[in-house]
Amino acid sequence: METRQIIQQAINEGNGILRLAPNWVPRSFCRPGKRIKLHPDDYYALGLKRGGIDERWFSSTTNADNGPDTPEDEGLSYIVTLDGTKKVLMKDAVETLKGEMIGKALWDKYGRWPVYSKFFDNLGPLPHHIHHNDKYASRVGQFGKPEMYFFPSQVNNHGGEFPFTFFGINPEVTKAEVKNALERFPKGDNNLLGLSRSYKLELDTGWDVPPGVLHAPGSLCTYEPQFSSDVYAMYQSVLYYEHCVPEELLWKDCPPEEKGNVNYLVEILDWELNIDPDFHKNRFMRPAPVKPVSEMQESGYIEEWICYKCDKVSAKRLTVFPGQTVTIKDSAAYGIICLQGNGTFGGNKLETPTLIHYGQLTNDEYYVTEPAARTGVVINNLSNVENIVILKHFAENPDLKTE
């Protein structure tokens, strides 16, 4: 069966909603926190050389950048038919259907689905690192990467080794001090965290992380809507418990002519954002209801913006109460991951798995095309005791009013 036929079959049987297969991504420099429902036997299913699986990517048309051993389709989401017998890359579906799938405005602007989301599930903290903005990412043929964090309680039965995240640099720190720390990278602990400050992570809250901002993510399992790029560079040399960071990651996504130039690494930083004395006020996010709460409760649900300080990517949390049937309309296409409950989603089976084997299909992840989103998705909660909780990730959404 040709690609277009499979895509059309999936759209027709899903009422404009596409079922997605779980999309697991390993990282050689990470240790799995084991909170993303993958079977305990399968966290190293790709081999020790590839590293543990500590990420699940959602609605992704972006390749993971994991070095020379990375398979061509790593990081890419697959659409599967409801009977599970046929599949096609979501990337191919977008390239085939264009604006019919993601919306004309997005297609005309980007010519692709420009975002994805993921669960990041690391046992310990990551090094202080940055994601480049468009200017610097373009020098290595990539796109800049804004990203956002949310810490769902449903996937955080434990906090890991260090549930605190460092953001930015202390306001009094100078560029010369940062340069000196980076020059010490090959010699041991460069103490970059000594120039920064950390924040205790709170469940069911989030953070906005613009490109060029240093951040050392803590060990909560994190839902991360982000622009579709895997561009980054690690600026911290030694982690807690003496885990060392390979020096090549300091120069990752650096043009060949700039490698060895520490001044270039400092230049990449968005200095004003990093030293912002009101960083918490400007970047921290608590859930914000999309409508008056009483109005939504009377209709059997609550919907909240959870990532809303970036105009390129955003996210909502939708809670449907037990026994309720609701119709939810959006002005843009989006992907979902179901965190809790069971029922139907636009006529499709919706259920939250307890345990997933590597390669196993699920009914917890879907992509809603723009026509289906605008028409409205009917969600039926089949439980009389448990909420359905869904996270929804968008690209540019005209319903969002950024602060």
C-alpha 343/C-alpha 352 separation (Å) is 9
Asked if the 3-285 domain carries CATH number 3.40.50.300, the reply is no
Residue 384 C-alpha from the chain's centroid: 31
Q: What are the CA-CA distances from residue 126 to residues 40, 130, 229 (Å)? A: 22, 11, 18
- What does the pLDDT look like over 10-47, one tens digit per residue? 999 999 999 999 999 998 878 999 999 999 999 999 99
Spatial strand order in the sheet of 164-167: 197-200, 164-167, 215-216, 129-130, 233-234
- What does the pLDDT look like over 268-301, one tens digit per residue? 999 999 999 999 999 999 999 999 999 999 999 9
pLDDT at site 403: 55
Do domains 3-285 and 288-394 share one topology? The answer is yes
186 three-class SS: helix
- What does the pLDDT look like over 66-101, one tens digit per residue? 878 899 999 999 999 999 999 999 999 999 999 999
* Burial (Cβ within 10 Å: 0-12, 13-18, ≥19) of residue 157: exposed
For the chain, domain boundaries: 3-285, 288-394
Q: What is the CATH number of domain 288-394?
A: 2.60.120.10
Confidence at 1, pLDDT banded by 50, 70, 90:
low
400 three-class SS: coil
Cβ within 8 Å of residue 336, ≥6 positions away: 58, 345, 365, 366, 367, 368, 390, 391, 392, 393
What Rg do the C-alpha atoms of the chain give, in angstroms?
Answer: 21
pLDDT at site 401: 79
